């Protein structure tokens, strides 16, 4: 599961950095927003589970990875500024892919930590903590950039996290191993996000 966690951190950091660059943030803003996007959901999860201080303050590999990914994205954008800005439509698609990957990885990681602490007896707790871990960092990123959080408006965002969380939980109940269940849950979340983007699936709104 550690590998899935690193995938989530890296993907979310790249997503956060690219959004910050699109909002014309300076290098500090890019690094800060990347770290918040990558680790914000985990901070919320740890606080809900009573893990204080949160893991990002005790295991520095996560913040180091987030900063490294953000710095690479910033340097790439800085060194080819004109071309980078000209490809804004393609860049939005890239952000969406990394955002979906982070959502998928963090949802199952959050569930795994909830199960380790509280067991399988309370599915609501396990699934809510998974979703909180998955969407928390992205919500913080959107609020800090003065945008409506994607979870409240983007095509099948929280629903994708919920579907993957339910799939993971049910597979564990049916006796599937952690890795198999986690991979299936992640794949479902990622696929739903990509399909929702491609076919413009939206939740009803007034």
| pLDDT tens digit sequence for 2-60 | 888 999 999 999 999 999 998 999 999 999 999 999 999 999 999 999 999 998 889 99
Q: Are 171 and 115 in contact (CB under 8 A)?
A: no
What pLDDT is stored for residue 203 in this prediction?
79
Query: SS3 for 205?
Result: coil
The pLDDT of residue 86: 67
Q: What gap in Å lies between CA 126 and CA 13, rounded to an integer?
A: 24
CA-CA-CA-CA torsion sign (75, 78, 79, 83): positive
- For the chain, the domains span 2-199
Does 10 sit behind a cis peptide bond, omega within 30 degrees of 0 on the bond before it?
no
pLDDT at 126 over 90: yes
| pLDDT of 63 | 96
CA distances from 102 to 29, 66, 88, 120, 189 (A): 20, 12, 21, 24, 10
- pLDDT, average across residues 133-153: 91
C-alpha distance from residue 86 to each of 64, 68, 92, 108, 165 (Å): 30, 25, 12, 36, 37
Predicted TM-score (pTM) of the model is: 0.91
Structure confidence at residue 72 (pLDDT): 96
- C-alpha–C-alpha distance, residues 126 and 140, integer Å: 21
Q: What is the pLDDT of residue 135?
A: 95
**Per residue in 80-124, pLDDT tens?**
887 776 676 677 788 899 999 999 999 999 999 999 999 999 999
For every residue of 80-98, DSSP letters joined together read THHHHHHTHHHHHHHHHHH
Q: What average pLDDT does the segment 173-184 reach?
A: 93
């Amino acid at each position: 599961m550690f590998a899935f966690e690193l995938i989530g951190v890296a993907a979310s950091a790249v997503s956060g950095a690219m959004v910050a660059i699109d909002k014309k943030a300076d290098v500090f803003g890019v690094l800060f927003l990347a770290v918040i996007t990558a680790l914000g959901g985990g901070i919320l999860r740890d606080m809900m589970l009573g893990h204080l201080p949160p893991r990002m303050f005790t295991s520095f590999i996560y913040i180091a990875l987030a900063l490294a990914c953000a710095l690479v994205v910033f340097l790439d954008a800085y060194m080819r500024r004109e071309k980078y800005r000209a490809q804004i439509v393609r860049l939005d698609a890239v952000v969406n892919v990394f955002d979906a990957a982070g959502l998928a990885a963090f949802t199952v990681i959050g569930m795994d930590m909830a199960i380790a602490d509280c067991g399988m007896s309370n599915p609501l707790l396990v699934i809510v903590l998974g979703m909180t871990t998955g969407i928390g960092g992205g919500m913080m990123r959107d609020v800090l950039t003065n945008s409506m959080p994607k979870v409240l408006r983007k095509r099948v965002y929280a629903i994708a996290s919920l579907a993957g969380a339910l799939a993971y939980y049910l597979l564990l109940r049916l006796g599937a191993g952690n890795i198999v269940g986690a991979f299936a849950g992640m794949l479902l979340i990622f696929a739903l996000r990509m399909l929702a983007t491609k076919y413009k699936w939206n939740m009803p709104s007034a």
